[in-house]
Copies of this chain bind each other. A is one copy, B any other.
């Protein structure tokens, strides 16, 4: 594994590596951030696994897709593995992000302090409601959704968080994609239809709650 990972290499890798493995890398990165904050310099797949409730074999296998970063017997250097994961996930830079929807959830996202340290910065907020347009949220003016076509390209925004009611989610997703958005974090509890090359991730608290009630049930 060379010192810096070229995008060409990553293109090749992303074809081979299961999406479920990719989905675990940010969780490993979060755990390493926690460890770094606790002052830990070295860890092992066993310790990481216990921390996360994942088997150490799984962690070693996941990381081996990217060349493997630990030495047999000495474990992982926390800072090195953090840097490598940040490179692999392309968060060794800052991504400008838009929020669509300035309701309670949009406000919560705009005020969230956890984005900037991990690679993201909210730079634009849009809403459909004339009463909300022009309001200030965390120093940003809420803009009309009609501005999406202009503001998204002018700020080179590729990622949007969609925090709007179900009824308007698909049509606003279409507007965002037309304006150049390639990644949507969708909080509306519906499945979006998007063209190839656009990535959607879903956050739906009810899905997580129902996952738990399976086990609590009875």
Residue numbers of A with Cβ under 8 A of B are: 7, 10-11, 14, 20, 22-23, 25-27, 29-31, 34, 51-53, 88-91, 95, 97, 103-105, 107-109, 111-112, 114-115, 118-120, 158-159, 161, 182-183, 185, 189-191, 199, 201-218
Contacts and interface: CB of A to CB of B under 8 A. Distances in A.
Given A31-B191, A90-B217, A217-B10, A23 B211 contact: yes
Given A20-B20, A22-B214, 7 more contacts: A14-B214, A22-B211, A52-B191, A118-B206, A158-B216, A185-B205, A201-B209
A14 B215 contact: yes
Given A104-B104, A159-B212, A205 B14 contact: no
Contacts of A210: 25-26, 29, 89, 91, 118-119
B104 A30 contact: no
A43 to B, nearest CB: 13
Contacts of A103: 108
A146 B213 CA distance: 26
Contact of A216 (B182, B190, B211): B182
